[in-house]
Amino acid sequence: MTLSSGGLTLWGSQRPRLESRPKSAGSHGERVLKFAELCGLTLDEWQAYVVGALFDVDANQAWAAAEFGLLVSRQNGKGEILVAYDLAHLFLFPRTDNRRKTILHTAHEVKTAIDGFQRLAGVIESVPKLMARVDNIYTANGQEGVVLKKRPGQLQGDRCRFIARTKKSGRGFAADVVVYDEAQELSLQASNALRYTQSQIDNPQGLYTGTVPEDGENDAEVWEGLRDRGRRGDGKRTGWMEWSPEGSEDPDIADAIDLSDHAAWIDSNPSMGWRMPVASVQEQYEGSKDVDPEGFKRERLSIWPNRRAAVAAKLSELDLDAWSHQASDDAAVAGDGVVLTLALGRGGGYGTIGAAVRVDSDQIAVEHLWTEKGTRWIAEKLKTYKAEYGNALVVLDPKNSAAVIGSLDAAGIKYLAMNLDEIAAAHAIFIEHVNAGLVPHRPQEEVAKSLQFATTRNLGRAGQTWEQSDPTKPITQAQAVTWALWGVLKSEATPRKPPPPPPPKAEAIPRTGTGQNEPNLALARF
């Protein structure tokens, strides 16, 4: 904060208030920043700091951060960071195996994706040395992207594609790098469609940039999960930088932050005094303080308190801490006796496949296997899993799965249909086992969120089952692991029928072997 002839001048903080960076053994940051400068990009100090951190590497020269989140309020200049990031990955870091490298730049809205494309194309077109490496810049609607000329040994040139996110966008791509702009609008279904594009990539990276979501408006469970990992600093390959006021992550303090406090403005807006006039922030505050203070807190100050654990726990009797403590990378479902289950979202908009297996005399491991939009994929995927796990038992709620029962029957998939009493029993048994520490599982954030946001509803006198506490928060993962655990117990309690005895061995009857009371086959009529 300095005084100038025009009065008070505020300069935004050039370092994030909250920061988590994975341990690194080096960085390509200086090289990237020099390249950006040669391309004509002028980055503020805070922008350069973020870009440099994105290109930290570990001892194996892999990206130190496989996922990196940037929370900063609107109009501070994250667009320049994304341009520098796309440029560097496209031109400086080709794959070592000469296969095509793909950068997939996504946004919630088409106009935002196009804006990102136009920014990148504008820089490339202004630098002759970059244009000399370009094969084509595609501008057709829905095809926006930059493709480079093939390097020696390549079949296809490296590329950067720009797309608006949908629940199916990105399928068919194998993306080395994915940019998730407007991450506060990144739904779980869209995330799944994109995340699995990196399944066969040795050194993937995902960059998430966004603002504070608005309750009831934004589908932000993925963004919130990344925020939580970043703030805790417990993700081995999770990076996080956040510009926000002191105490804004604490639900007991956040509401008491003085929205007129210049220190809060400085902490939240790194470009204030450079790109963002202080007068603009002052006008926004004056215009919103009596009408929409929550909007100013969200859009300008990035005040986003952590979710209260006590509130989440009240939604059900499940002990979320006990669930968390049972997470282990070694708890994947495998071996004999696997049970599969299917849960569909409301209206059949998406489906989830889960699994469970007996670990020892006390423990049953559970796992979320797959979630995808729609239902047409379910029969084939379930048949594949069923074969993979040795003709695994499939259990489901026939009312929940009514939309796909016909396709399962057509595919020859046999299943065990649960009645209301069994659904209620499954719910009670799952909570009892989790709270007793008997349900090992892989650390799957989507399952933890599903259980966190799931509440309960009564099934008449039978008991309770899972119910959505918020229409935007899916519970199919919670349903899937719950029913799969019950399926293991059910399969163990149901005695297996012994196989029927083999038919008698066929033998020929000679003519002389015909007794008085036995038919003569030579004379018998059929």
- DSSP state string for 426-484: HHHHHHHHHHTT---B---HHHHHHHHHEEEEE-TTS-EEEEESSTTS--HHHHHHHHH
Burial letters for 281-308: b for 16+ Cβ neighbours within 10 Å, e otherwise?
beebbeebeeeeeeebbbbbbbbbbeee
Burial letters for 403-441: b for 16+ Cβ neighbours within 10 Å, e otherwise?
ebeebbeeeebebbebeeebbbbbbebbbebbeeebbbb
Quick: pLDDT tens for 478-508: 999 999 999 999 999 876 666 667 777 666 5
- Domain 313-493 maps to which CATH number in 3.30.420.80, 2.160.10.10, 3.40.430.10, 3.30.420.240? 3.30.420.240
Output the six-digit token pair for 368: 């979320």
User: Given this model, what pLDDT does residue 43 score?
Assistant: 95
Instruction: Indicate whether 313 pLDDT > 60.
Output: no
The answer to whether 62 and 203 are in contact (CB under 8 A) is yes
Q: Could you tell me where the DSSP H helices lie in 233-390?
A: 262-268, 278-288, 293-299, 309-313, 320-325, 378-388
Cα distance from N-terminal residue to C-terminal residue, the chain:
108
Which residues have a Cβ under 8 Å from the Cβ of 52 and sit 6 or more positions away?
Answer: 27, 29, 30, 32, 33
Amino acid letter, residue 342: L
Instruction: Indicate whether 171 pLDDT > 90.
Output: no
- CATH fold of 8-299: Rossmann fold (3.40.50)
Taking the C-alpha atoms of residue 125 and residue 513, their distance in angstroms, rounded to an integer, is 98
Local confidence band at 509 (pLDDT 50, 70, 90 cut-offs):
low
Taking the C-alpha atoms of residue 206 and residue 41, their distance in angstroms, rounded to an integer, is 22
Which residues have a Cβ under 8 Å from the Cβ of 73 and sit 6 or more positions away?
Answer: 211, 243, 268, 269, 299, 300, 301, 302
Mean pLDDT for 360-375 is: 93
Lowest mean pLDDT among 91-105, 221-235, 247-261, 282-296: 221-235
Quick: pLDDT tens for 380-411: 999 999 999 999 999 999 999 999 999 999 99
Quick: pLDDT tens for 245-292: 999 999 999 999 999 999 999 999 999 988 899 999 999 999 999 999
Query: Where do the DSSP E strands lie in 294-376?
Result: 339-344, 350-358, 364-373
pLDDT over 70 percentage in the chain:
89
Query: CA torsion angle for 255, 261, 264, 266 (degrees, to 10)?
Result: 170
The answer to whether 243 and 267 are in contact (CB under 8 A) is yes
Domain boundaries, the chain: 8-299, 313-493
pLDDT over 90 percentage in the chain:
71
Q: How many CB atoms lie within 10 A of CB 332?
A: 14
CA 68 to chain centre: 13
User: Given this model, what pLDDT does residue 383 score?
Assistant: 94
Q: What is the pTM of this model?
A: 0.63
Q: How many CB atoms lie within 10 A of CB 171?
A: 13
* Helix 29-38 / helix 78-91 crossing angle, nearest 10 deg: 100
Output the six-digit token pair for 261: 């406090």
Amino acid letter, residue 174: A
Q: Do β-strands 145-148 and 56-57 pair in parallel, antiparallel, or remain unpaired?
A: unpaired
Q: Could you tell me where the DSSP H helices lie in 300-415?
A: 309-313, 320-325, 378-388, 405-410
CA 99 to chain centre: 26
Mean pLDDT for 337-346 is: 93
Could you tell me which of 99, 242, 275, 106 has the C-alpha nearest to residue 177? Answer: 106
